[in-house]
């Protein structure tokens, strides 16, 4: 039975208030100032949030944008503009945010955008006219994540092996390309469809997350083949001395071992550059840990040891991304939806290096609380939805984004929902998280005394996020675009984005895993 919005409206938990006034009292000592802004906010953006602005010297630890003497980041009962979550007591197992018919449409659209022209390519979106130009290309990142989703959500069904063999052939072909830009071809962002030629136009290059992401997807495939006794294919194409460049998996992992993990790179959104993006490092770490186990299973202890050694080097950089308030993406763009994508795609419990990024940990709870606060007030559509009794929150790439109008994104919103579902699963499996984590979750109204109640509340929070998303996408015939207009709530920018389908499918799979 599908849940209706009228049925859930009374079951609200208020989270954050959007106080639209400029405070009358901004006389606050530096030590008492509570940050009300985000990285890169200016005076107009600060004051539009109803906060105080007082610039100091560059590098100051004191926030320039801060709450006044009567405000902090807690609930303000005098405002009607809030993001909220459903009460965790509501039974949600049999009433998912997206029903079976809608999920079938998502899956059909997703499958129609992989293995284009039977060459193994994954089209980013079949849209030639977006605010960012033509999307009819195979992006290395999008393709790898989509093919991982295909396998982990079992969307490919009986055709999964056929899809993955086509993708393997595509990857081997791209690894053999001569690069026209003087960089390692494994760090190219995108390729022409159907020829597979490297895109020769200007773009943000290099992008060093691609090799690790491809290796993860292909190792999932290889492990499945090995379980079926298909080792010959694995050794001939994916990992073997007679395979091209040692195999698609070997060649991509070797890029990381040879130092590629520490090179300068573009960010997930292809806008800024850094040597130390959280998304890139976490997914590389995941690939290397998987690679060590995979190589060992094939008797290649030398490669396994090299992967572990490199993983240790990468892992040693991860903890610095927790600044005590939240996990940040990079020093030049701190609050970034890429962090949720990183936690979902890169987290592994194989090492203490990653423990802080577990959905179960206090650091992740802190990050969720901070990010919801930052994005809730960023878009007027959040205010409109809350005033209409729609639960959840829509989030975008980062506060202050201007691309295509600076809107919420489907994929980052779904990624947040997945974090909630995975936190619910871990709580159900391992019991209550630490008291520090519980204190953070309580800021979202998740205050329970038993692990089963907390797990239910976290799962219901995931439902809340997807219900708000569903409100804006369910009327478009199963099409998921890139963005949702920040004012009108209509889907916007690139139509039928493959990565959007993948993130929604991943979130719903995490939900299914929790209720299984």
For the chain, give the mean pLDDT. Answer: 89
Going by C-alpha positions, the residue among 277, 271, 245, 244 that lies closest to residue 258 is 245
Distance CA 470, CA 463 (A): 10
Q: Give the lowest-confidence range in 231-235, 428-432, 437-441, 446-450.
A: 446-450
What is the mean pLDDT of the segment spanning 431-457?
92
Q: Give the lowest-confidence range in 28-32, 254-258, 350-354.
A: 350-354
- What residues have CB less than 8 Å from 229, skipping those under 6 apart? none
Model confidence pLDDT, tens digit, residues 446-462: 988 899 999 999 999 99
CB-neighbour burial class of residue 340 (10 A; exposed 0-12, middle 13-18, buried 19+):
buried
Model confidence pLDDT, tens digit, residues 476-505: 999 999 999 999 999 999 999 999 999 999
What is the mean pLDDT of the segment spanning 381-402?
96
What is the mean pLDDT of the segment spanning 175-200?
97
What is the model's pLDDT at position 9?
A: 36
Strand locations in 349-499, DSSP E? 483-484, 491-492
**DSSP structure string for 191-212:** E-TTT-PBP-S------TTHHH
What is the model's pLDDT at position 280?
A: 98
Provide the whole-model pTM.
0.86
* pLDDT confidence tier of residue 46, bands split at 50, 70 and 90: confident
Q: Give the lowest-confidence range in 1-10, 84-93, 253-262.
A: 1-10
Q: Are 81-112+359-515 and 133-353 equal in CATH topology? A: yes
CB 138 within 8 A of CB 170: yes
Please name the CATH architecture into which domain 33-68 falls.
Irregular (4.10)
Q: Give the lowest-confidence range in 53-57, 101-105, 279-283, 453-457.
A: 53-57
Model confidence pLDDT, tens digit, residues 322-350: 999 999 999 999 999 999 999 999 887 65
What is the model's pLDDT at position 100?
A: 95
What is the mean pLDDT of the segment spanning 361-371?
95
Residue 450 tokens, joined: 């038993």
Q: Percent of the chain, pLDDT > 90?
A: 77
Model confidence pLDDT, tens digit, residues 241-281: 999 999 999 999 999 999 999 999 999 999 999 999 999 99
In words, the CATH class of domain 133-353 is mainly alpha
> In the predicted model, is pLDDT for residue 13 greater than 90?
no
What is the model's pLDDT at position 23?
A: 39
Angstrom CA distances, 483 to 2, 345, 492, 498, stand at: 25, 21, 5, 12
What is the model's pLDDT at position 360?
A: 85
Domain ranges of the chain: 33-68, 81-112+359-515, 133-353
What is the model's pLDDT at position 90?
A: 60
In words, the CATH class of domain 81-112+359-515 is mainly alpha
Q: Do β-strands 52-53 and 273-274 pair in parallel, antiparallel, or remain unpaired? A: unpaired
> In the predicted model, is pLDDT for residue 171 greater than 90?
yes
Distance CA 72, CA 55 (A): 19
What is the model's pLDDT at position 58?
A: 63
Distance CA 308, CA 287 (A): 10
> In the predicted model, is pLDDT for residue 364 greater than 60?
yes
Model confidence pLDDT, tens digit, residues 125-166: 999 999 999 999 999 999 999 999 999 999 999 999 999 999
Going by C-alpha positions, the residue among 415, 368, 390 that lies closest to residue 472 is 390
């Amino acid at each position: 039975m599908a849940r209706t919005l009228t049925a859930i409206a009374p079951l609200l938990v208020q989270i954050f208030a959007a106080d639209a006034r400029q405070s009358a009292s901004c006389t606050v000592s530096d030590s008492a100032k509570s940050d009300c802004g985000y990285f890169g906010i200016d005076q107009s953006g600060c004051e539009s949030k109803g906060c105080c602005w007082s610039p100091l010297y560059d590098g100051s630890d004191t926030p320039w944008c801060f709450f006044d003497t009567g405000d902090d980041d807690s609930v303000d009962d005098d405002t009607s503009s809030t993001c909220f979550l459903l009460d965790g007591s509501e039974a949600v197992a049999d009433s998912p945010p997206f029903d079976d018919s809608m999920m079938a449409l998502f899956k059909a659209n997703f499958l129609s955008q992989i293995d284009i022209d039977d060459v193994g390519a994954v089209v980013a979106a079949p849209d030639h006219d977006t605010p960012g130009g033509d999307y009819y290309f195979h992006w290395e990142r999008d393709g790898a994540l989509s093919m991982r989703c295909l396998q982990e959500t079992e969307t490919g069904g009986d055709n999964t092996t056929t899809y993955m063999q086509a993708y393997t052939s595509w990857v081997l072909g791209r690894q053999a390309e001569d690069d026209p830009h003087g960089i390692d071809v494994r760090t190219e962002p995108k390729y022409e469809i159907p020829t597979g030629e490297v895109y020769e136009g200007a773009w943000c290059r290099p992008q060093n997350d691609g090799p690790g992401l491809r290796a993860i997807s292909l190792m999932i495939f290889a492990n499945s083949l090995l379980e079926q006794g298909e080792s010959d294919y694995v050794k001939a194409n994916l990992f073997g001395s007679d395979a091209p460049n040692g195999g698609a998996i070997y060649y991509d992992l070797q890029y990381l071992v040879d130092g590629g993990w520490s090179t300068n790179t573009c960010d997930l959104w292809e806008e800024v550059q850094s040597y130390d993006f959280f998304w890139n490092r976490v997914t590389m770490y995941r690939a290397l840990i998987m690679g060590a186990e995979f190589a060992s299973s094939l008797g290649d202890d030398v490669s396994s040891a090299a992967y572990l050694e490199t993983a240790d080097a990468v892992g040693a950089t991860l903890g610095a991304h927790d600044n005590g308030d939240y996990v940040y993406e990079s020093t030049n763009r701190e609050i970034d939806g890429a962090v949720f994508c990183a936690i979902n795609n890169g987290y592994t419990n194989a090492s203490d290096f990653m423990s802080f990024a577990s959905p179960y940990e206090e650091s992740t709870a802190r990050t969720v609380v901070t990010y919801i606060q930052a994005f809730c007030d960023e878009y007027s559509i959040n205010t409109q939805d809350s005033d209409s009794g729609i639960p959840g929150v829509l989030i975008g790439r980062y506060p202050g984004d201007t691309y295509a109008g600076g809107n919420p994104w489907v994929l980052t919103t779904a990624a947040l929902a997945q974090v909630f579902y995975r936190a619910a699963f871990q709580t159900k499996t391992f019991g209550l998280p630490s008291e520090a984590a519980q204190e953070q979750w309580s800021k979202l109204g998740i205050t329970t005394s038993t692990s089963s109640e907390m797990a239910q509340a976290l799962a219901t929070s995931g439902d809340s996020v997807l219900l708000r998303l569903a409100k804006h996408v369910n009327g478009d015939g199963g099409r998921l675009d890139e963005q949702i207009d920040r004012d009108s709530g209509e889907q916007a920018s690139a139509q039928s984005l493959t990565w959007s389908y993948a993130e929604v499918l991943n979130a719903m799979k995490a939900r299914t895993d929790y209720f299984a």
